[in-house]
A and B are shown apart, each in its own frame.
Chain A
Amino acid sequence: MKIDTQKESSFYIIAIDGDLDASSSIVLDTAIMEAIGRDEKAILFDCNALSYISSAGLGVFMSYLNEFEQQQIYSALYSLNPKVKNVFEILGLDQLIQIYADKQEAISRFNAAEL
């Protein structure tokens, strides 16, 4: 799995490429810690190339939800393929984590919340 990060306007984009499982989830964990350390306030996860996710990957996202709320960090995932999105839905995590169809929608929701 590969992680690419990019700053785009107010947004810190973490692009995930490959399988997010028990052998690779630490890489995403580190990327999120770095984003928080940079005091980023809007973190977007580009999941267009995310081919697979297991509970280890879900766990990374879940473990930061409280911190995101406490530090008022906006976070959202976008461009999930149907199989990956379904994994979030199995346990109802799609109700706790903001998931959008594409980057534009994720940005629009952030902008709407800022108004």
Chain B
Amino acid sequence: MQISKRLFPVLMQQSYKTYCQRNNLKHIRAFVEKTLANTTLSDIEINQIVLAVDEICANLIIHSQKGNPKAEMEIIIECLPEEIIFQIIDFDASFFDFSAYKEPTITGIKKEGRKGGMGLLLVNSIMDEVEVVHRHNTNTWYLTKKIGLATT
């Protein structure tokens, strides 16, 4: 599915590579926000998308790379005429079976007093499509947000 999308003209592509460190999350957010500033999205929509990317990156840092400061990740943003595709590349990562992921409920999170569990819930609520492709020891997260005209 992702390959077929390349048949449409890419209006803009930006990429950002950084180390898997929690302190870098603010730089990742700044990169996404700056890139989306050239679109017609509202401030609230941009913040939601920044949040979704931030959630995936935080998960990679904490769970996939387990705080390894030398591990790297890359974020690629492609603006197409009617959607924006975010690729978040987690290098040297073990297979993540997204199909096995079971969404928790907010009621359950409150009842258990859990601090975690809402990240992917937010991502699934904000994005129109979420998928993970595992290839050559790399997990690539594809987040797709459908929009009107992507760039001004």
Contacts and interface: CB of A to CB of B under 8 A. Distances in A.
Partners in one complex: yes
Interface of A: 19, 21-23, 25, 29, 52, 54-56, 58-60, 62-67, 82-83, 86-87, 90-93, 96
Contacts of B110: 62, 65-66, 96
Contacts of A83: 43-44, 47
Contacts, number: 85
B44 A82 contact: yes
B43 to A, nearest CB: 6
B26 A59 contact: no
Contacts of A21: 22, 25-26, 54, 58
Given A22-B25, A22-B58, A91-B122, A59 B44 contact: no
Which among B48, B110, B115, B118 has the highest number of chain A CB atoms within 10 Å? B115
Nearest to B61: A22
A91 B115 contact: no
Interface string B108-132: 0111011111110110011000000
B106 A96 contact: yes
If over half of B's interface residues share one DSSP class (helix, strand or loop), that class is named, otherwise mixed; here it is helix
A56 B29 contact: no
B62 interface: yes
Nearest to B115: A59
A59 B106 contact: no
Interface in B36-77: 43-44, 47-48, 51, 54-55, 58, 61-62
B4 interface: no
A63 B118 CA distance: 12
A86 B49 CA distance: 12
B23 interface: yes
A21 B27 CA distance: 12
Given A54-B55, A54-B58, A62 B118 contact: yes
A95 to B, nearest CB: 9
B44 A56 contact: no
